[in-house]
Structure 1
Amino acid sequence: MPKMVLLAQYLSLNGTNLSDDTRKAELTFEVEDKDVTTYGSLGWKVLLGGLKSGELSVEFLNDFAATKLDSIMWPLLGTVVAFEVRADAGAVSTSNPKYTGSVLINGWNPIEGSIGDEASVSVGYPTSGAVTRATS
Structure 2
Amino acid sequence: MPTMVLTGEYLNIAGNVLNEFTKKAELAVEVEEKDVTHFASNGWKLLIGGLKSGTLGCEFLQDFAATKLDSIMWPLLGSVVTFEVRPTQAAASASNPRYTGNILIKEWQPISGSVGDEATVGVSYPTSGEVVRATA
Pick the TM interval, shorter chain: over 0.9
TM-score by structure 1 length?
0.99
In structure 2, the partner of 1:126 is: 126
Could you tell me which residue of structure 2 aligns to residue 91 of structure 1?
91
| CA deviation string 1:38-80 (max 9, x = no partner) | 0010100000100000000000000000000000000000000
- Report what 1:62 is aligned to: 62
Output the amino acid matched with 1:17.
V
- Work out the CA distance in 1 between the residues paired with 2:33 and 2:6: 32
Alpha-carbon distance between aligned partners in 1 of 2:8 and 2:26, rounded to the nearest angstrom: 14
Shift of 1:91: 1.3
Give the AA of the match of 1:116: G
AA aligned to 2:21 is D
Deviations along 1:91-126, whole A, 9 cap, x unmatched?
110000000000000000000010000000000000
RMSD: 0.5
Aligned to 2:47: 47
Partner of 2:114: 114
Count residues with an aligned counterpart. Answer: 136
In structure 1, C-alpha distance between the alignment counterparts of 2:19 and 2:35, rounded to whole Å: 41
- Name the SS of the counterpart of 2:73 in structure 1: helix
- Give structure 1 stretches of 5+ with no counterpart: none
Supply the distance in 2 between the matched residues of 1:72 and 1:91 (Cα, whole angstroms).
24
Q: After TM superposition, which residue ranges in structure 1, 4 or more long, deviate above 3 angstroms? A: none
Quick one: distance in 1 between partners of 2:29 and 2:2? 24
In structure 2, distance between residues paired with 1:7 and 1:65: 25
The alpha carbon displacement at 1:2 in A equals 1.7
Q: Sequence identity, in percent?
A: 65
